[in-house]
Amino acid sequence: MAEALLAIDDLRVQFDRGEDEVFAVNGVSFSIAEGEALGIVGESGSGKSVTLMSALGLIRENGKIMAGTAKFQGHDLLKMRPRQLEDIRGRDIGVIFQDPMTSLNPVMRIGDQIMESMLTHQYAGRREAFERTLQLLHEMGIPEPKARFRNYPHEFSGGMRQRIMIAIALACEPQLLIADEPTTALDVTVQMQILALLQEQRRKKQMSIAMITHDFGVATNFCDRIIVLYAGQIMEMADTRQFLRQPAHPYTMGLKNSIIEIGQRDRQLSPIPGMAPTLTEPPKSCSFASRCPLATERCRLELPALREISPNHHVACHRAEEVLAHAI
């Protein structure tokens, strides 16, 4: 088996909101292999961002990591001093956020922002960093790199800004790229361009990607393996192939059923009822029970563990075997 580049084990993250606590991540374990593209899907608030950002030391101060390890190349990121972590972030691990406007510096020329990342990580000297910036802008499909180098973020469209974010994230040739909903705010045409770009870079550099998305179309077309998060827990983890052929968690099936595709005008909709739980208490039973058509007494009493029901197919559901057997 390919070695894990990043291995997260039993991660638990909690936020203090003054009057109460939010149990955002409740015992999440998974790993990303070298060269692998892992999709992390789930509805908003399911803990996708907090899981990865807490490993990188990027959550707000009211957040606390209660337990777990996050080993990058064998070294626990959660035990590192801030300086050490800053060093890895941006050099070995690149990050792209959903909204490029909040992470780009509005008063700094975009070329300087790309160069800065290489200079602070001593990846290259000034001259070389400058040349590489032009090269990156070119690879990102930005016409006239020399002229655009001098422009500020607001002088670009949303799609262009996202390309610049990617250029910054890729500048030091990271081994792992964490992309937090990199195309959610973009038009489908631009989404396609960005994903094509990421795929090409991944192939060229043998880079691993953790792609956070709530779009199953993006996850299944782009990723090798998929994790479904719900209420800060992994509900299902499988190869994309297994995920497409036969998922075994009622929530995954419900989500797949919620997607409307072209040519389905006559289809009857069958929405998942209700909404995701507020996470003010740690889960003691199945978090999906109140919305699950298959819920039984046991589901309301006992927390289902994430089990490997067949090779590389993990499911957290008491009735996973039944679901599979009957393909309900």
Ligand X SMILES: Nc1ncnc2c1ncn2[C@@H]1O[C@H](COP(=O)(O)OP(=O)(O)O)[C@@H](O)[C@H]1O
User: Judged by CB, which is closer to another protein: 84, or 270?
Assistant: 270
CA distance linking residue 164 with residue 44, whole number of Å:
25
Cα angle: 159, vertex 137, 168; to 5 degrees: 75
Choose which of 5, 6, 8, 24 interacts with ligand X (CB under 6 A). 24
User: Which of the listed partners (Mg ion, another protein, ligand SF4, none) does 49 bind, with a CB threshold of 5 to 8 Å by partner kind?
Assistant: Mg ion
Nearest-approach distance from CB 315 to ligand SF4, in angstroms: 8
Q: Does 151 contact another protein by CB under 8 A?
A: no
Q: Does 42 contact ligand SF4 by CB under 6 A?
A: no
Distant-in-sequence, close-in-space partners of 250: CB < 8 Å, separation ≥ 6:
288, 292, 293, 294, 317, 319, 323, 328
Nearest-approach distance from CB 187 to another protein, in angstroms: 4
Q: Does 50 contact ligand SF4 by CB under 6 A?
A: no
Q: How far apart are the first and last CA of the chain?
A: 33
CA distance linking residue 140 with residue 113, whole number of Å:
15
Q: SS3 for 152?
A: coil
The pair of structure tokens assigned to 266 is: 């006559």
Q: Convert residues 181-210 into a mask of x (bound to another protein by CB under 8 A) and - (unbound).
A: ------xxxxxxx-xx--x-----------
User: Judged by CB, which is closer to another protein: 205, or 307?
Assistant: 205
Choose which of 49, 201, 213, 252 interacts with Mg ion (CB under 5 A). 49
Q: Where are the beta strands (DSSP E) in 60-192?
A: 63-72, 75-76, 93-96, 176-180
Which residues bind to ligand SF4, rule: CB under 6 A?
250, 286, 288-289, 292, 294-295, 299, 304, 317-319
